[in-house]
Amino acid sequence: MNAAPSDQLRLLDLADIDARRSQADHARRNPPQAARVAELRAARQVLGQELAARQGVVDDLRIELRRIESDVAVVVARRDRDNALLATTASAKDAVSIEHELASLTRRQDELEETQLELMERIDAAELAVAEQQTAVTATNDEGSALSAAAKDAIAAATAQGEQLDRDRAAVTAGLPADLLALYERVAQRSAGAALLHARTCGGCHMMLAGTDLGVIRQAADDVVVTCPQCDCILVRTDESGL
């Protein structure tokens, strides 16, 4: 294929645009914050499960505390009743029986109130554990929100860059011969598309060309489109090609 050297030179601009388009597309699909956001999502799930477990402990202790408080209220009511009976009974035998029951109720109330205090202490500790876990969850959520916002900004910037590069590409390709552009598009599927031949080295695969390959290229006219024997990209020749 033949193409004017100036058109071949424009292929370098096209290859550069395509490389930056590829980078912008990768940045759009893979913002730098994505990996950390994924880690935080997994961590948040684990932290949330632990928070639920700790809150469950608090709820169970509170249920138990309410049961103990109910038992205390029953005992207090029975003591009040017995005290009232003791104050009004005229039977010595009944009085002894009531006093025995009051002593038993007093011991029972003491036991219940001791258990009540222990439960309240356990609840305080369990609520502290819940608060600590909630702090960890909140910190994880805050970091995730900040990184997600940054990721959205990065995606938006990469998208805008890609759109601008699409316009730049359209401007470059508009002036290229159809057959040259078709060749570039074909080889760009498996290589850099086009690269500068500099100091006998392909700018696409960075391989130095063998002497026989350089001899063939050296003998080709300026308007002949030549390709790299290693990566097959179009080689653009200049005074710095080392021919």
The string over 90-122, giving b where at least 16 C-beta atoms fall within 10 Å of a residue's C-beta and e elsewhere, is eeeeeeeebeebbeebeebbeebeebbeebeee
The span from the CA of 161 to the CA of 23, in Å, is 10
pLDDT confidence of residue 98: 87
For residue 166, being part of any structural domain is answered with no
**167-174: long-range pairs with CB below 8 Å, 24+:** 168/17, 169/14, 169/17, 169/18, 169/21, 172/10, 172/13, 172/14, 172/17, 173/14
For residue 162, being part of any structural domain is answered with no
Mean pLDDT calculated for residue range 59-67: 97
12 and 63 housed in the same domain:
no
The span from the CA of 119 to the CA of 122, in Å, is 5
Q: How many domains does the chain have?
A: 2
pLDDT confidence of residue 67: 96
The range of the structural domain enclosing residue 123 comes to 29-155
β-bridge mates for residue 196, sequence order: 236
140 and 52 housed in the same domain:
yes
157 pLDDT higher than 90: yes
pLDDT confidence of residue 90: 76
21 and 37 housed in the same domain:
no
Mean pLDDT calculated for residue range 204-218: 91
Last residue of a domain, one of 155, 190, 207: 155
If one compares 126 and 243, the residue with the highest pLDDT of the two is 126
116 and 228 housed in the same domain:
no
Mean pLDDT calculated for residue range 64-83: 94
Residue 241: pLDDT band (50, 70, 90) is confident
63 and 85 housed in the same domain:
yes
The span from the CA of 9 to the CA of 196, in Å, is 9
- pLDDT tens across 178-194, in order? 999 999 999 999 999 99
Residue 41: pLDDT band (50, 70, 90) is very high
Mean pLDDT calculated for residue range 155-167: 97
The span from the CA of 208 to the CA of 38, in Å, is 43
Last residue of a domain, one of 107, 124, 155: 155
Where do runs of H (alpha helix) occur along 91-210? Answer: 92-174, 178-187
The single-letter code of the amino acid at 26 is H
46 and 68 housed in the same domain:
yes
Which residues are within 8 A (CB) of 188 and not within 5 positions of it... i.e. 6 or more apart? Answer: 15, 18, 194, 233
13 pLDDT higher than 90: yes
Q: Which of 198, 176, 152, 179 is nearest to 34 (CA)?
A: 152
Mean pLDDT calculated for residue range 78-88: 88
pLDDT confidence of residue 87: 83
pLDDT confidence of residue 50: 97
The single-letter code of the amino acid at 51 is L
Task: State the average pLDDT for the chain.
Answer: 94
143 and 215 housed in the same domain:
no
For residue 161, being part of any structural domain is answered with no
Residue 92: pLDDT band (50, 70, 90) is confident
141 pLDDT higher than 80: yes
Pair of tokens at residue 82: 């017995």
77 pLDDT higher than 80: yes
Is pTM beyond 0.85? Reply is no
